[in-house]
Amino acid sequence: MARTSIYDRISEKRLAAEALARQQAEEAANAPALVIEPEPVTVLALQPARNELKIAGLALLMPQGFNFRDIDTTLEKDGHPVTFSAKRRPAPEGLTLQRSAELYVGNLRKHHPDVTIVRQRDCLLAGSPAISVDYVFTADQERRHGRATSAIIDPVNGSERQWFSVSTVINPDLPALASWLIDFDDMLSDIVAC
Protein backbone atom coordinates (compact mmCIF):
# COMPACT_ATOMS: atom_id res chain seq x y z
CA MET A 1 0.00 0.00 0.00
CA ALA A 2 1.59 3.20 -1.18
CA ARG A 3 1.16 6.19 1.05
CA THR A 4 1.03 9.63 -0.61
CA SER A 5 3.38 12.32 0.51
CA ILE A 6 2.38 14.94 3.05
CA TYR A 7 2.48 17.57 0.29
CA ASP A 8 -0.04 15.60 -1.76
CA ARG A 9 -2.36 15.27 1.24
CA ILE A 10 -2.08 19.05 1.95
CA SER A 11 -2.83 19.75 -1.71
CA GLU A 12 -5.88 17.42 -1.63
CA LYS A 13 -7.23 19.21 1.50
CA ARG A 14 -6.71 22.60 -0.13
CA LEU A 15 -8.48 21.47 -3.35
CA ALA A 16 -11.38 20.04 -1.31
CA ALA A 17 -11.70 23.26 0.70
CA GLU A 18 -11.68 25.33 -2.50
CA ALA A 19 -14.36 23.10 -4.05
CA LEU A 20 -16.53 23.40 -0.93
CA ALA A 21 -16.12 27.20 -0.94
CA ARG A 22 -17.13 27.37 -4.63
CA GLN A 23 -20.19 25.19 -3.95
CA GLN A 24 -21.26 27.36 -0.99
CA ALA A 25 -20.77 30.54 -3.05
CA GLU A 26 -22.92 29.11 -5.89
CA GLU A 27 -25.65 28.10 -3.41
CA ALA A 28 -25.59 31.57 -1.84
CA ALA A 29 -25.78 33.22 -5.28
CA ASN A 30 -28.80 31.11 -6.26
CA ALA A 31 -30.60 31.53 -2.93
CA PRO A 32 -33.29 34.20 -2.72
CA ALA A 33 -31.88 37.43 -1.31
CA LEU A 34 -32.83 38.08 2.27
CA VAL A 35 -33.42 41.79 2.79
CA ILE A 36 -33.31 42.96 6.37
CA GLU A 37 -35.40 46.07 6.81
CA PRO A 38 -34.20 48.44 9.51
CA GLU A 39 -36.72 49.07 12.25
CA PRO A 40 -38.48 52.38 11.74
CA VAL A 41 -37.39 55.11 14.11
CA THR A 42 -40.15 57.00 15.86
CA VAL A 43 -39.63 60.73 15.46
CA LEU A 44 -40.75 62.54 18.60
CA ALA A 45 -42.28 65.98 18.18
CA LEU A 46 -41.29 68.83 20.46
CA GLN A 47 -44.16 70.40 22.34
CA PRO A 48 -42.65 73.74 23.44
CA ALA A 49 -45.70 74.73 25.51
CA ARG A 50 -45.80 71.48 27.52
CA ASN A 51 -43.07 71.43 30.14
CA GLU A 52 -42.36 69.66 33.38
CA LEU A 53 -39.33 68.71 35.41
CA LYS A 54 -39.06 65.50 37.38
CA ILE A 55 -36.65 65.83 40.27
CA ALA A 56 -36.15 63.19 42.96
CA GLY A 57 -39.49 61.62 42.04
CA LEU A 58 -41.39 64.92 42.15
CA ALA A 59 -42.98 66.38 39.00
CA LEU A 60 -42.93 70.16 38.68
CA LEU A 61 -45.37 71.31 35.97
CA MET A 62 -44.70 74.67 34.34
CA PRO A 63 -47.66 77.06 34.09
CA GLN A 64 -49.44 77.32 30.73
CA GLY A 65 -47.85 79.83 28.37
CA PHE A 66 -44.27 79.34 29.62
CA ASN A 67 -42.10 77.72 26.96
CA PHE A 68 -38.89 75.84 27.69
CA ARG A 69 -35.77 77.62 26.45
CA ASP A 70 -32.75 76.65 28.60
CA ILE A 71 -32.08 74.25 31.44
CA ASP A 72 -28.66 74.39 33.05
CA THR A 73 -28.19 72.15 36.04
CA THR A 74 -25.50 70.41 38.00
CA LEU A 75 -25.92 66.72 38.77
CA GLU A 76 -23.71 64.93 41.25
CA LYS A 77 -22.22 61.46 41.24
CA ASP A 78 -20.21 60.29 44.25
CA GLY A 79 -19.69 63.93 45.22
CA HIS A 80 -18.39 64.96 41.78
CA PRO A 81 -20.24 67.57 39.68
CA VAL A 82 -21.66 66.81 36.23
CA THR A 83 -22.95 69.75 34.21
CA PHE A 84 -26.13 69.03 32.24
CA SER A 85 -27.84 71.45 29.83
CA ALA A 86 -30.80 71.35 27.47
CA LYS A 87 -31.62 74.17 25.07
CA ARG A 88 -34.36 74.87 22.52
CA ARG A 89 -34.69 77.63 19.96
CA PRO A 90 -36.75 78.23 16.82
CA ALA A 91 -34.59 77.09 13.88
CA PRO A 92 -34.36 79.37 10.84
CA GLU A 93 -35.23 77.63 7.57
CA GLY A 94 -31.64 77.62 6.25
CA LEU A 95 -30.05 76.19 9.41
CA THR A 96 -28.43 72.79 8.85
CA LEU A 97 -27.08 70.35 11.41
CA GLN A 98 -23.52 71.04 10.29
CA ARG A 99 -24.02 74.79 10.61
CA SER A 100 -25.60 74.37 14.05
CA ALA A 101 -22.51 72.41 15.17
CA GLU A 102 -20.25 75.18 13.82
CA LEU A 103 -22.25 77.82 15.71
CA TYR A 104 -22.12 75.73 18.89
CA VAL A 105 -18.34 75.35 18.65
CA GLY A 106 -17.97 79.07 17.86
CA ASN A 107 -19.90 79.92 21.02
CA LEU A 108 -17.73 77.50 23.03
CA ARG A 109 -14.58 79.21 21.74
CA LYS A 110 -15.88 82.57 23.04
CA HIS A 111 -15.89 81.18 26.59
CA HIS A 112 -13.00 78.69 26.27
CA PRO A 113 -10.44 79.74 23.61
CA ASP A 114 -8.45 76.52 24.17
CA VAL A 115 -11.32 74.21 23.18
CA THR A 116 -10.27 71.26 21.00
CA ILE A 117 -12.79 69.23 19.00
CA VAL A 118 -12.16 65.54 19.65
CA ARG A 119 -14.87 63.96 17.52
CA GLN A 120 -17.98 64.81 15.55
CA ARG A 121 -20.48 62.16 14.47
CA ASP A 122 -23.99 61.75 13.12
CA CYS A 123 -26.57 60.20 15.43
CA LEU A 124 -30.26 60.46 16.42
CA LEU A 125 -31.91 62.61 19.09
CA ALA A 126 -35.59 61.98 19.83
CA GLY A 127 -35.75 60.08 16.53
CA SER A 128 -34.50 63.03 14.47
CA PRO A 129 -31.15 63.22 12.68
CA ALA A 130 -28.61 64.83 15.01
CA ILE A 131 -24.96 65.66 15.31
CA SER A 132 -22.82 64.96 18.36
CA VAL A 133 -19.67 66.93 19.12
CA ASP A 134 -17.08 65.88 21.72
CA TYR A 135 -14.63 68.51 22.89
CA VAL A 136 -12.03 69.16 25.59
CA PHE A 137 -10.89 72.35 27.30
CA THR A 138 -9.33 73.55 30.55
CA ALA A 139 -11.32 75.18 33.37
CA ASP A 140 -9.91 76.08 36.79
CA GLN A 141 -6.62 74.38 35.87
CA GLU A 142 -8.45 71.07 35.27
CA ARG A 143 -9.24 69.25 32.06
CA ARG A 144 -12.91 69.08 31.03
CA HIS A 145 -14.65 66.85 28.47
CA GLY A 146 -17.91 67.99 26.94
CA ARG A 147 -20.42 66.37 24.64
CA ALA A 148 -23.24 68.21 22.88
CA THR A 149 -25.89 66.45 20.82
CA SER A 150 -28.08 68.69 18.67
CA ALA A 151 -31.00 68.05 16.34
CA ILE A 152 -33.22 70.13 14.12
CA ILE A 153 -36.77 68.95 14.71
CA ASP A 154 -39.14 69.44 11.79
CA PRO A 155 -42.49 71.13 12.43
CA VAL A 156 -45.51 69.07 13.41
CA ASN A 157 -49.13 70.28 13.51
CA GLY A 158 -48.28 73.84 12.52
CA SER A 159 -45.44 74.29 15.02
CA GLU A 160 -42.23 75.90 13.85
CA ARG A 161 -38.96 74.13 13.12
CA GLN A 162 -36.88 73.77 16.31
CA TRP A 163 -33.20 73.42 17.23
CA PHE A 164 -32.84 71.15 20.27
CA SER A 165 -29.54 70.49 22.04
CA VAL A 166 -28.56 68.44 25.09
CA SER A 167 -25.04 68.67 26.49
CA THR A 168 -22.86 67.65 29.40
CA VAL A 169 -19.43 68.55 30.77
CA ILE A 170 -17.31 66.47 33.18
CA ASN A 171 -13.83 66.16 34.58
CA PRO A 172 -12.69 63.05 32.64
CA ASP A 173 -9.88 62.30 35.08
CA LEU A 174 -12.28 61.29 37.88
CA PRO A 175 -12.81 57.49 38.05
CA ALA A 176 -16.36 57.98 39.38
CA LEU A 177 -17.30 59.67 36.07
CA ALA A 178 -15.57 57.18 33.77
CA SER A 179 -18.86 55.78 32.40
CA TRP A 180 -20.89 59.02 32.38
CA LEU A 181 -20.63 59.69 28.64
CA ILE A 182 -21.94 56.17 27.96
CA ASP A 183 -24.77 56.76 30.46
CA PHE A 184 -25.45 60.15 28.83
CA ASP A 185 -25.80 58.57 25.37
CA ASP A 186 -28.06 55.84 26.81
CA MET A 187 -30.19 58.51 28.48
CA LEU A 188 -30.59 60.35 25.16
CA SER A 189 -31.49 57.15 23.31
CA ASP A 190 -34.24 56.51 25.89
CA ILE A 191 -36.02 59.87 25.41
CA VAL A 192 -39.78 59.32 25.23
CA ALA A 193 -42.75 61.55 24.43
CA CYS A 194 -45.12 62.37 27.27
- pLDDT for 46: 72
d(CA 4, CA 191): 68
Q: What is the pTM of this model?
A: 0.74
Supply the DSSP string of 163-177, one letter for each residue.
Answer: EEEEEEEE-TT-GGG
CB 73, CB 85: distance < 8 Å: yes
Q: Which CATH number fits domain 52-189: 3.40.1000.10, 3.50.50.60, 3.40.50.1000, 3.90.650.10?
A: 3.40.1000.10
Residue 34 CB burial class (10 angstroms; 0-12, 13-18, ≥19): exposed
CB 120, CB 108: distance < 8 Å: no
Cross-strand bridge partners of residue 144: 137
Instruction: List Cα–Cα distances, 190 to 40, 62, 124, in angstroms.
Output: 15, 23, 11
- pLDDT for 165: 95
Residue 140 vs residue 75, higher pLDDT? 75
Please, which contacts does 184-187 make with residues 24 or more away whose CB atoms are closer than 8 Å?
A: 184/147
pLDDT(121) > 90: yes
Residue ranges of the domains in the chain? 52-189
- pLDDT for 190: 86
pLDDT(1) > 60: no
- pLDDT for 33: 62
Averaged pLDDT, 111-130: 93
pLDDT(85) > 80: yes
- pLDDT of 9-24, one tens digit each? 667 777 888 888 888 8
Cross-strand bridge partners of residue 75: 82
- Identity of the residue numbered 76: E
Alpha helices in 56-95 (DSSP H): none
- pLDDT of 34-54, one tens digit each? 666 767 777 777 776 677 788
Read off the pLDDT band of 26 (50, 70, 90).
confident
Read off the pLDDT band of 122 (50, 70, 90).
very high
Angle CA 81–129–108, to nearest 5: 40
Q: What is the mean pLDDT of the chain?
A: 86
